[in-house]
Structure 1
Amino acid sequence: TIIPTIQEGIAKVQIVLIERWYTWPVPIFEIAETNFNTWWLSKDFSRLNYGLFIDRENFRGRKEALRLKFQTGYTSQYAIQYHIPYLNKKQNLGLEATISYYKNREIVYGTLDNKRLFYNSYDSPARNEFSSRLVFSYRHGFYNSSFLSLKFQSASINDTLAMLSEDYFPNNEASTQFFSLSYRFQRDRRDVKAYPLKGYFFDAEILKLGLGMLNNEPDVLFLKGSASKFWKLRDKWFLATGIKGKYGFTTYQPYYVQRGLGYFNENVRGFEYYVIDGQSWGLGRASLKYELLKPEVYISNSFRNNKFNTMHYAFYLNILADAGYVDDKLYNKLNPLANQLLYSTGIGLDFVSFYDMVLRFEYSVNKLGEKGFFINFTAPL
């Protein structure tokens, strides 16, 4: 909060900062679906994850972060992550290490008519997974960063699922284990990461799954990237545009490692109820925003602690337009939305709040003429 005062012809500016807590026990309550809207159709409470994060920020007083995760429900997961932002005196080299174990009784093994096919194992887990990852980060100045990641994955499915989906893992096997290596470059000039209004963002990544070191590895190379630009057009008017995509250099991709559009925030708005599998895809989005309520600060008298009694919020009305394309050479005979241009348009209302919270309400019409009201919890770009 900035408090300007003028006394006896002298201007003074007082800047009041509220420091966040360092230790956070954060409850987990999330939907195990591609997005909230697909879950809302069935309201199936068995497809919920719940548990607890224990976050320790500024660990050892060096901005290091320790995170523990204990999750049960649809996906059981246990994980530990340690982040060291600075390994050297220049403070431009960092390291993050993560170890995770997952198990599922129900998983998706394919799609039909762009709807997911589920397999449920009542006696034992349908899939077990273990992964460990090291990520080295390097900052090139203030706005540019590079990330080099080495990951090991091991996964297995039961015999029934292996018969249902012969291409789930390489060579029709019931298990796989492999290393992957990726490099990602990022340039970030956005004013606010959670909900930018000005600036631009760019990133590009090359990812190799399977390094030829283990048996039954996938052999897949991906190139991924995104670019977005944000303008303030005039008072209260803003424009956001962005493109992102993934190109697979190999046609054959085991179902375990391939993913098209329709997952989380990588979808054509208006097609939230569909999944379009494929080996390569592209997506473009645009939003024209009008500031209904400029960022305000609300102070509640219900909490004495100033870490909780202050709330920042704003509202934006927007007009949206999306277009996307999925290139699929493996499953397109069963999924008609692949290999054609998809598009949609609509209107929306965005609520932006303290602690990087975004809530979007959108009404859109897609290429098929289908209309719908959708809710999302991240910025579209």
Structure 2
Amino acid sequence: MSYSRNHEANYNITNNVIDYYRTDTAYVRKELQANVGYEIRPKLYNKHIFQAEYTSVQVADSVILLNKDYLSEVKNNMQFITLYYTFKRDTRNFKSYPTTGYYFDFNLVKDGVGVLDEKLNSLYTTSQIRKYWQLSDRFYFSGLIKSKISIKNNPYYFYNSIGFTNDFIRGYELYVINGEHSILTKTQLRYALVKEKIFKINSIPANKFNKIPLAIYLGTYFDSGYVDSKINSKNNSLMNSALYGGGVSIDFVSYYDAVLRLEYSINKFNETGLYVHFIAPI
């Protein structure tokens, strides 16, 4: 169960950037969520997950005035039930920074089941596969394909395509591209400049803490994606357009699954940037 109150809420996307409404005198968004789930693991690498979740969300009237499609039926509050089914297969050697194996998942999500908010009736699927190859002693290659298909158009509250969480095209970190359907691909070639090596810090007396493992990888990458949307596409040029970007990177991988990634990227508009990330690229 979780409960959150925020003085700020994103209510729309204009020119491929999120619009925010904020006030320090009141909470503009309140959300309560409670869920229950059941997990089945019939095989070592396979997992089936079933979940049911209750959500109650309320926003300030100002948010609805700014975007009448934020919630269903031009209301400032909504309650609904969401049903989830997820299948996962994971053979990666390391979860935080894999170099061999593969990962696959399929998700089926149903928002609205005919109770509470009867007007809400949404269904969408997402699926992804990530594959990792060791090409030689020091060279590694990885690739990702991820897709989302929505069966029915939803209010703005339910949209999160490319640019949200970790689903972004490198070179477009400053943008979001929202829509009903999307596809994202990523590829990366890495070279182990420093294979895992133990560095000892003599100034730390405790043996448990004075040894730090570190691996360093140099990389080059290319990403692409496409978002299909019939909603608000006039004000967002990145929707319904083929997008791609690439660049070079250096990754630092240490103990406790710590990852530091520095990337220099360029996108299709020749915009460049230096970005810092704290998770594996794929």
Normalised by the size of structure 2, how large is the TM-score? Answer: 0.97
Is 1:138 aligned to residue 52 of structure 2?
Answer: no
| Aligned counterpart for 1:356 among listed residues 223, 248, 257 | 257
Contact 1:222 1:249 in 2 (8 A): yes
2:215 is aligned to: 314
**Whole-Å separation in 1 of the counterparts to 2:159 and 2:112:** 14
Secondary structure at the aligned position of 1:221 is classed as strand
**Whole-Å separation in 2 of the counterparts to 1:307 and 1:223:** 46
Contact 2:112 2:118 in 1 (8 A): no
1:260 is aligned to: 161
| Aligned counterpart for 2:93 among listed residues 144, 166, 191 | 191
Contact 1:209 1:220 in 2 (8 A): yes
Contact 2:161 2:179 in 1 (8 A): yes
**Whole-Å separation in 2 of the counterparts to 1:181 and 1:236:** 44
C-alpha deviations, 1:75-97, integer Å up to 9, x for none?
A: xxxxxxxxxxxxxxxxxxxxxxx
Are residues 110 and 328 of structure 1, via their aligned partners in 2, closer, same or farther at CA, if it must alter by over 3 Å?
Answer: same
Contact 2:126 2:147 in 1 (8 A): yes
Bigger RCO (CA 8 Å, 6+ sep)? 2
C-alpha deviations, 1:176-228, integer Å up to 9, x for none?
A: 11110011000001000100001111010100011111136532111001101
How many pairs align?
282
Is 1:120 aligned to residue 28 of structure 2?
Answer: no
Secondary structure at the aligned position of 1:355 is classed as coil
1:150 Cα deviation from its structure 2 partner: 0.9
**Whole-Å separation in 1 of the counterparts to 2:72 and 2:57:** 12
1:305 Cα deviation from its structure 2 partner: 4.7
**Whole-Å separation in 2 of the counterparts to 1:292 and 1:350:** 10
1:256 Cα deviation from its structure 2 partner: 0.8
Secondary structure at the aligned position of 1:273 is classed as coil
1:100 is aligned to: 2
Q: Describe how 1:176-215 pairs up with structure 2 within 5 A.
A: 176-215=78-117
1:365 is aligned to: 266
| Aligned counterpart for 2:58 among listed residues 156, 159, 166 | 156
Is 1:271 aligned to residue 172 of structure 2?
Answer: yes
C-alpha deviations, 1:47-95, integer Å up to 9, x for none?
A: xxxxxxxxxxxxxxxxxxxxxxxxxxxxxxxxxxxxxxxxxxxxxxxxx
Instruction: Report the AA paired with residue 14 of structure 2.
Output: L
Secondary structure at the aligned position of 2:9 is classed as strand
Contact 2:7 2:27 in 1 (8 A): yes
**Whole-Å separation in 2 of the counterparts to 1:324 and 1:221:** 22
**Whole-Å separation in 2 of the counterparts to 1:156 and 1:304:** 54
1:356 Cα deviation from its structure 2 partner: 1.1
Secondary structure at the aligned position of 1:360 is classed as strand
1:237 Cα deviation from its structure 2 partner: 0.4
Are residues 307 and 168 of structure 1, via their aligned partners in 2, closer, same or farther at CA, if it must alter by over 3 Å?
Answer: farther
Contact 1:313 1:352 in 2 (8 A): yes
Q: Describe how 1:1-381 pairs up with structure 2 within 5 A.
A: 99-215=1-117, 218-251=120-153, 253-381=154-282
1:300 Cα deviation from its structure 2 partner: 3.1
Which of 1 and 2 has greater Rg? 1
1:95 is aligned to: none
Secondary structure at the aligned position of 2:163 is classed as coil
Are residues 231 and 181 of structure 1, via their aligned partners in 2, closer, same or farther at CA, if it must alter by over 3 Å?
Answer: same
Contact 1:145 1:186 in 2 (8 A): yes
Secondary structure at the aligned position of 2:41 is classed as strand
1:319 Cα deviation from its structure 2 partner: 0.7
C-alpha deviations, 1:346-373, integer Å up to 9, x for none?
A: 1100111111111111111101111111
1:85 is aligned to: none
1:124 Cα deviation from its structure 2 partner: 0.8
Secondary structure at the aligned position of 1:348 is classed as strand
**Whole-Å separation in 2 of the counterparts to 1:103 and 1:327:** 32
Secondary structure at the aligned position of 1:224 is classed as strand
Identity value in percent = 36
Q: Which runs of 5+ in 2 are unaligned?
A: none
Instruction: Report the AA paired with residue 345 of structure 1.
Output: G
Q: Which runs of 5+ in 1 are unaligned?
A: 1-98
Are residues 307 and 172 of structure 1, via their aligned partners in 2, closer, same or farther at CA, if it must alter by over 3 Å?
Answer: farther
Are residues 217 and 153 of structure 1, via their aligned partners in 2, closer, same or farther at CA, if it must alter by over 3 Å?
Answer: farther
